[in-house]
A = this chain, B = another copy of it.
Amino acid sequence: MITTTPLSDLTGLYARVQQFYAQQMHALDGGDFAQYAATFTPDGEFSHTPGRPPARTREGIAAELHAFHEQRFGNDPVRRRHWFNMIRLAPGEDGTIRSTFYVLVVTSRPGVREPEIAPSCVVHDVLVEEGGELFNRSRRVDHDYLGIG
């Protein structure tokens, strides 16, 4: 049997998390790295790519994203969309919420109708609620094509 949190407790939370992720990733995909970083707690930790050390604090996360995008895309005029799916929530007794879900990154380029859809990832979040708002305390991204074999 799968051990489940009482699902009644999840009803409201599930929708809130989906809305939170939509706001968060619309910000990132819109290029607003500061706004993305502000969805983390002040001491938040973000580990998005294997081999790169995790970024810490909002300032650190925003700086890391600026550096990563400059290095990775430079003058390549990409439009990226992060898709989250199959979100599994596990509220803990300490008030944190572990959230595990699938991700695909959809990358479009001018004039090319078919986007690149890669890589496939699994993300492990720890979420907290403060003042009625959700925040990421941490996020770790595992890449499927790197984690096998």
Please name the residue on chain B nearest to A89 by beta carbon: B19
Residue from B35, B109, B117 within 8 A of A148 (CB atoms) = B109
Cβ of A96 < 8 Å from any Cβ of B? no
Q: How long is the Cα–Cα vector from A58 to B132 in the complex, in angstroms?
A: 41
Contact A119 B109 (CB under 8 A): no
Cβ of A111 < 8 Å from any Cβ of B? yes
Return A147 CB to nearest CB of chain B, in Å: 7
- Interface positions of A (Cβ within 8 A of B): 1-2, 4, 6-8, 10-16, 18-27, 35, 38-39, 77-79, 81-89, 100-102, 104, 106, 108-120, 122, 132-134, 144-149
Residue from B18, B88, B118 within 8 A of A87 (CB atoms) = B18
Please name the residue on chain B nearest to A134 by beta carbon: B7
Contact A108 B115 (CB under 8 A): no
Q: How long is the Cα–Cα vector from A39 to B112 in the complex, in angstroms?
A: 31
Contact A111 B145 (CB under 8 A): yes
Contact A149 B77 (CB under 8 A): yes
Please name the residue on chain B nearest to A149 by beta carbon: B110
Q: List chain B residues, Cβ under 8 A from A106.
A: 102, 104, 120, 144
Contact A14 B4 (CB under 8 A): no
Known contacts A2-B27, A2-B39, A24-B2, A113 near B145 by CB under 8 Å: yes
